[in-house]
């Protein structure tokens, strides 16, 4: 019977989140704000329709786990290494420096060193779920500052394990040497698990995905991905590590295969469902009346995080040679308290390191920073441009003279971050292969191939082409290929219904791209033109032209005269 009560709680959370998320979108706000407010509204402190039960917390953690898995699919180990030392070195320095600076501030305010240290560690973490969600929604996850932010967030997730052990040690439940011994044992076990998953995902899984039975049924690769993500999360949890980190590593390893694009698109609906519950579950923790009574304290704490934390990260990123604009944008994106800080706060309260008043303050301030995150991430590019170029008084006068005091957003198409402008070939059957062979001498490094048949991957890779396994009818797949940057899109899909749908989708996502499409039947040619194709190759026309040319060539070889012109025959 309890299971049905849990189901009702989940249903209420999703229903109210849907309503408030829709309202937020209509008001030109992020849906995340609606989700958090939904949790506050139906939570135990307001309407009391949903309690802060363990089942909701578990589902929320599961949502973050799948989110990290999909991020891993996006990056891959090689891409993570190419991000440079900003991930591992910069992220480590950020955690240590932010925790130390925040702890010193709290100690200067009169708090004990144990309490100050615990609060500093909570302040060091940012929200992976919130930042990644907004970066994805704004198509800036692959921008320079977006990649820097993701790198630092990933290191923060890795740092969660030692931070948890240190928080427990501060409560007096274990000594520092004991905690270090547990940490060493945990890391060793984690490395063994990573090695096992490496062997599994690099050698066994690609063979399964390329087997005939696997790719013919679209459900099986999705099931395989979910099993791998949840299996890695369970293995890491059993070892005392972060389940989200395990899912992320599984995604990194699977990202090396050409199936990553399609798997990421297929798990997106489930991930969206669970991440929505995650944000709503955060809202359940907030007592709006308590926040209203302590608005000055909560506002000051949240404001300090939003201002001081980006400044620290700005200095760190600048030290790695990035410009002031990229550094500032990276810091602004991370100017919040993360979801894993709630875990540290719970441990600190249970260990007597912080009292109930401080716990409520941490929770309230963290939620305020999360509510501000969509605005911070969206304004980051504009702040970056101001930091890079400055804004002269003359420009200000010109803006106010024209009646607009706002800074104009002259950023190029969002999401267009590739160094090379790709030429996409959608469909890699005989027609697509012929297109690639002709274009290879001219556009070889720029060609990107998408096809549902994994057997075509070997042929594409033998030509040195970038191959992805995926369905071109899926918006998420095309966005992952950065179609907004595409110079041209060649569609060789034989099915006319799918081809027309793909043309519509490509034209909406890449208005400036040249779209070429294949029409198997003459009657479909104008449908494709109306759908948005610039050039349509009509197979029936080409077959007729080919037959006629072949006939003329054969007749010429035989030396036969051309037929007499009309009207010259003998009567």
User: Does residue 380 carry a pLDDT above 80?
Assistant: yes
Q: Are residues 363 and 499 in the same domain?
A: no
With CA atoms as reference, report the closest residue to 280 among 72, 17, 63.
17
| Residue 411 belongs to some domain of the structure | no
Rounded distance, CA 550 to CA 560, Å? Answer: 14
In angstroms, rounded to a whole number, what is the distance separating the alpha carbons of residues 522 and 40? 58
424 DSSP β-pair partners: 448, 489
Percent share of the chain, pLDDT over 90: 16
pLDDT of residue 286 exceeding 90, the answer is: no
Q: Are residues 320 and 427 in the same domain?
A: no
pLDDT at 384: 81
Residue 425 φ/ψ, nearest 5 degrees: -115, 110
Q: What is the pLDDT of residue 409?
A: 36
State residue 415's pLDDT score. 45
Three-state DSSP class for 319? Answer: helix
Of residues 202 and 1, which shows the higher confidence score?
Answer: 202
> Which residue shows structure tokens 């993570």?
80
State whether 377 and 241 are in the same domain.
Answer: yes
Tokens of 128: 């992976």
Residue 207, in any domain of the structure: yes
Task: Judge if 430 and 348 occupy the same domain.
Answer: no
Which tens digit of pLDDT belongs to each residue from 417-471? 444 568 899 988 888 888 998 888 888 888 999 987 777 887 888 888 888 888 8
CA–CA separation, 254 and 501 (whole Å): 29
Contact 320, 90 (CB under 8 A): yes
Q: 410 falls in which pLDDT band (50, 70, 90)?
A: very low
Q: Inform me whether the pLDDT recorded for 478 exceeds 80.
A: yes
Asked if pLDDT for residue 148 goes beyond 60, the answer is: yes
Confidence check: pLDDT of 123 > 80: yes
For tokens 């030392």, what's the residue? 85
| CATH number of 464's domain | 3.40.50.720
CATH number for the domain that contains residue 178 = 1.20.1530.20
Whether residues 383 and 235 share a domain: the answer is: yes
- Find the domain containing 210 and state its range: 2-387
- 368 and 511 share one domain: no
CA dist., res. 278 & res. 283, Å (int): 9
How many folded domains does the chain comprise? 2
Q: What does the block give as tokens for 13?
A: 């959370």
In the listed set 364, 387, 410, which residue is the last one of a domain according to the structure? 387
Cα(137)–Cα(377) distance, integer angstroms: 10
> How do residues 251-263 score in pLDDT, each as one tens digit?
877 777 767 777 7
Return the CA Rg of the chain: 28
Average of per-residue pLDDT across 469-476:
81
CA 465 – CA 467 distance, rounded (Å): 6
Does residue 262 share a domain with residue 382? yes
Query: What is the distance between the alpha carbons of residues 312 and 97, in angstroms, rounded to a whole number?
Result: 8
Neighbours of 321 (CB within 10 A): 11
The mean per-residue pLDDT over the stretch 178-194 comes to 74
Q: Is residue 568 part of a domain?
A: no
User: Is 63 inside any structural domain?
Assistant: yes
- Alpha-carbon span 190 to 315, nearest angstrom: 32
380 and 332 in contact (C-beta within 8 Å)?
yes
Residues 206 and 355 in one domain: yes
**Helices 260-284 & 356-389, crossing angle to 10 degrees?**
130
What's the pLDDT at 394? 47
Give mean pLDDT, residues 34-43. 88
The side-by-side arrangement of strands in the sheet containing 488-491 is 466-469, 447-451, 423-426, 488-491, 514-519, 535-538
Do 436 and 364 share a structural domain? Answer: no
Q: Answer whether residue 501 shows pLDDT above 80.
A: yes
- Could you tell me if 383 and 458 lie in one domain? no
Nearest alpha carbon to residue 171 among 214, 121, 135 = 121
Maximum mean pLDDT: which of 55-59, 229-233, 326-330, 413-417: 326-330
User: Are 276 and 370 found together in one domain?
Assistant: yes
Distance CA 412, CA 418 (A): 12
Closest CA relative to residue 69, chosen from 213, 295, 204, 248? 248
Position 344 in a domain: yes
Q: Let me know how long the chain is.
A: 571
Let me know if residue 450 belongs to a domain. yes
At 570 the pLDDT is: 47
Question: Would you say residue 399 has pLDDT above 50?
Answer: no
Average pLDDT over the chain reads 80
Q: Are residue 374 and residue 471 in the same domain, yes or no?
A: no
Q: Is pLDDT above 80 for 242?
A: no
In a domain, 70, yes or no: yes
Q: How many CA atoms lie within 13 A of 146 on its CB side?
A: 25
Task: Kindly report, residue by residue over 452-467, the tens digit of the pLDDT.
Answer: 777 788 788 888 888 8
As a whole number, mean pLDDT of residues 202-227 equals 69
Write down the pLDDT at residue 562: 65
Answer whether residue 333 shows pLDDT above 70.
Answer: yes
Q: Which of 63-77, 121-135, 328-342 shows the lowest per-residue confidence on average (mean pLDDT)? A: 63-77
Give the whole-angstrom CA distance, residue 338 versus residue 54: 19
pLDDT of 515 reads 92
pLDDT for the residue numbered 303:
93
Domain membership flag for residue 567: no
| C-alpha span between 545 and 548 (Å, rounded) | 5
Query: What's the angle, vertex CA 267, arms to CA 261 and CA 273, rounded to 5?
Result: 140
* pLDDT at 214 exceeding the cut of 80: no
- Looking at per-residue pLDDT, the higher value among 473 and 206 belongs to 473
SS3 468: strand
Task: Please spell the DSSP secondary structure of 183-241, one letter per residue.
Answer: HHHHHHHHHHHHHHHHHIIIIIHHHHHHSHHHHHSTHHHHHHHHHHHHHHHHHHHHTTS
The residue-averaged pLDDT of 554-569 equals 66
Stronger pLDDT, 67 or 515, i.e. the higher one: 515
With beta carbons less than 8 A apart as the criterion, state whether 487 and 503 touch: no
What secondary structure letter does DSSP report for 562? P
From 362, 387, 412, the end of a domain falls on 387
Q: For residues 281 and 53, what is the distance between their CA atoms, to the nearest angstrom? A: 9
């Amino acid at each position: 019977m309890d299971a049905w009560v849990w189901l009702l709680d989940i249903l209420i959370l999703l229903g109210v989140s849907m309503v408030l998320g829709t309202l937020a979108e209509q008001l030109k706000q992020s849906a995340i704000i609606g989700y958090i407010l939904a949790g506050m509204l139906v939570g135990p402190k307001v309407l009391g329709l949903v309690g802060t039960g363990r089942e909701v917390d578990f589902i929320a953690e599961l949502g973050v786990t799948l989110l990290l898995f999909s991020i891993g699919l996006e990056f891959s180990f090689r891409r993570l290494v190419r991000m440079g030392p900003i991930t591992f070195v910069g992220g480590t320095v950020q955690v240590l420096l932010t925790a130390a600076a925040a702890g010193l501030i709290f100690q200067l305010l009169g708090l004990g060193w144990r309490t100050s240290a615990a609060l500093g560690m909570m302040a060091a973490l940012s929200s992976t779920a919130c930042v990644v969600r907004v970066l994805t929604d704004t198509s800036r996850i692959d921008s320079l500052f977006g990649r820097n932010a993701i790198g630092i967030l990933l290191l923060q997730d890795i740092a969660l394990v030692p931070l948890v052990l240190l928080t427990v040690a501060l409560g007096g439940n274990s000594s520092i040497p004991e905690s270090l011994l547990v940490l060493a044992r945990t890391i060793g076990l984690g490395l063994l698990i990573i090695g096992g998953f490496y062997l599994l995902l690099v050698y066994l899984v690609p063979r399964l995905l390329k087997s005939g039975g696997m790719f013919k049924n679209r459900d099986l690769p999705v099931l395989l991905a979910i099993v791998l993500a949840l299996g890695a999360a369970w293995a890491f949890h059993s070892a005392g590590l972060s389940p989200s980190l395990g899912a992320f590593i599984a995604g990194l390893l699977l990202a090396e295969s050409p199936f990553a694009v399609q798997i990421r698109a297929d798990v997106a609906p489930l991930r969206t469902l669970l991440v929505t519950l995650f944000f709503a579950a955060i809202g359940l923790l907030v007592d709006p009346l308590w926040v209203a009574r302590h608005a000055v304290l909560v506002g000051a704490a949240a404001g300090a995080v939003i201002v001081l934390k980006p400044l620290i990260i700005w200095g760190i990123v600048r030290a790695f040679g990035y410009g002031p604009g990229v550094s500032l944008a990276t810091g602004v994106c991370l100017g919040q308290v993360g979801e894993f800080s709630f875990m540290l706060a719970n441990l600190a309260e249970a260990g007597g390191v912080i009292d109930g008043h401080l716990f409520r303050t941490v929770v309230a301030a963290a939620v305020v920073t999360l509510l501000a995150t969509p605005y911070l991430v969206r304004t980051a590019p504009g702040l970056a441009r101001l930091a890079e170029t400055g804004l002269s008084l003359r420009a200000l006068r010109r803006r106010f003279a024209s009646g607009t005091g706002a800074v104009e957003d002259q950023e190029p198409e969002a999401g267009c971050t590739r160094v090379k402008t790709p030429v996409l070939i959608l469909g890699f059957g005989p027609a697509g292969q012929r297109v690639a062979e002709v274009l290879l001498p001219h556009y070889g490094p720029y060609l990107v191939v998408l096809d549902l048949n994994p057997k075509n991957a070997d042929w594409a890779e033998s030509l040195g082409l970038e191959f992805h396994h995926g369905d071109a009818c899926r918006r998420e797949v095309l966005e992952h290929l950065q179609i907004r940057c595409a110079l041209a899109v060649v569609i060789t899909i034989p099915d006319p219904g799918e081809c027309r749908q793909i043309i519509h989708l490509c034209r909406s996502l890449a208005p400036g791209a040249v779209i070429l499409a294949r029409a198997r039947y003459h009657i479909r040619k104008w449908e494709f033109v109306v759908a948005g194709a610039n050039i349509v190759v009509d197979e029936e026309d080409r077959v007729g032209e080919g037959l006629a040319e072949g006939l003329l060539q054969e007749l010429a070889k035989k030396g036969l005269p051309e037929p007499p012109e009309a009207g010259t025959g003998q009567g």
